[in-house]
Amino acid sequence: MSPRQLWLASIYAGLVFALAAVARLPFKSVLTRIFEALPAILFLSALSFFGKNGRLLFLIFLLKALSAVTLIIVLTATTAFSELLQGLRQMGMPNLLILLLSFMYRYVFLLEDELLRTKRAYQLRVNPRISKFTQLGVLSNIVAVLFIRTYERAERVYLAMCARGFKGEQGN
């Protein structure tokens, strides 16, 4: 790794952030989403310290990863999900993966709603004065219930789709 590569990665990062500015995305929103991915980026970047030229490799990897995450944020904020799926289809991604992505996108909001309801129930039921070990037991029960509810909902959705003639292909 050379300092030239660090310089190029810096230019790419600058261009990606300029693209976010041209797209008129709220800076605070973009920064918030970058910070959500930052722990994973830092962990993976830290692994580069063990190689030759560790610091330089760390900075290059960090800039490239931040650029990639920012580019994904810009892409998803400026393009409708259906258009993204259509683009993946045109690039030759298997239909099964596109179908799974579309289902995931549709039902992730239901899962999020279920998670928020479960979190609220947890907060109402757990006494903050009980031990952390007991709280962990209650939390594990709640996670199990969430898993069972999600599984049962998926089963009901699948049966409803089969009843309406779904055969595992898009366009049905």
Per-residue model confidence as pLDDT tens digits over 41-92: 888 888 877 777 778 888 888 888 888 998 888 888 888 988 989 999 999 9
**What CA–CA distance (Å, rounded) separates 119 from 70?**
30
118 and 63 in a common domain: no
Per-residue model confidence as pLDDT tens digits over 29-45: 888 888 888 888 888 88
73 and 103 in a common domain: no
Contact assessment for residue 5 and residue 59, using Cβ atoms and an 8 Å cutoff:
no
State the pLDDT at residue 171.
53
State the pLDDT at residue 9.
84
Structural domain includes residue 119: yes
**What CA–CA distance (Å, rounded) separates 10 from 59?**
9
69 and 24 in a common domain: yes
Final residue before a domain boundary, out of 38, 54, 78: 78
**What CA–CA distance (Å, rounded) separates 7 from 72?**
22
Structural domain includes residue 169: no
**How far is residue 169 CA from its own chain's centroid?**
25
Print the domain residue range for 133: 94-163
100 and 53 in a common domain: no
67 and 106 in a common domain: no
Per-residue model confidence as pLDDT tens digits over 134-162: 878 878 888 888 888 888 888 898 898 88
